[in-house]
């Protein structure tokens, strides 16, 4: 932190602006089901690991990436089983894939697994 920034904060010259965003619920399209997945975006206040987690849209996620007051993470969420069949390749089931996606986000938002108990949400 620079000395000038520190001086502004001490004097009260630094104004925190609370970002405004709405909770978001994805609506997968037929193309998404054909692809087999959607991207989901989540945020949580950085200084409180017990703060509520919110699902947000991609635009809000991009804005929060540079915000030190919020942790934001994106995960690839499987919504349909792959139509590909290849005996040499082992595909993870829908629930296994989504559990793995949640696990990759653990470092950013550890309690995301509690927010997403239904691993087959949005699946057909």
What pTM was estimated for this model as a whole? Answer: 0.79
Token pair 């996620």: residue: 61
Q: Is there a domain that residue 6 lies in? A: no
What pLDDT, on the 0 to 100 scale, is given for residue 3? 76
Give the CA dihedral 91, 32, 123, 23, nearest 10 degrees.
Answer: 120
Q: Is there a domain that residue 109 lies in? A: yes
Q: Is there a domain that residue 31 lies in? A: yes
Residues β-bridged to residue 55: 42
Task: Taking residues 53-76, report their average pLDDT.
Answer: 92
Residue span of the structural domain in which 42 resides: 23-115
Q: Say whether pLDDT at 88 is over 60.
A: no
Q: Say whether pLDDT at 29 is over 70.
A: yes
Q: Is there a domain that residue 105 lies in? A: yes
Number of domain units in the chain: 1
Q: Is there a domain that residue 9 lies in? A: no
Task: Provide the 10 A C-beta neighbour count for residue 42.
Answer: 23
């Amino acid at each position: 932190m620079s000395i000038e920034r520190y001086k502004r904060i001490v004097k009260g010259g630094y104004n925190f602006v609370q970002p405004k965003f709405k909770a978001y619920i994805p609506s997968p399209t037929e193309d998404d089901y054909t692809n087999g997945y959607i991207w989901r975006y989540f945020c949580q206040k950085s200084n409180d690991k017990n703060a509520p987690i919110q699902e947000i849209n991609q635009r809000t996620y991009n804005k929060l990436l540079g915000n030190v007051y919020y942790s934001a993470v994106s995960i690839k969420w499987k919504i349909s089983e792959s139509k590909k069949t290849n005996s040499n390749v082992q595909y993870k089931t829908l629930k296994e894939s989504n559990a793995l996606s949640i696990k990759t986000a653990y470092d950013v938002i550890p309690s995301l697994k509690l927010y997403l108990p239904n691993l087959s949400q949005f699946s057909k």
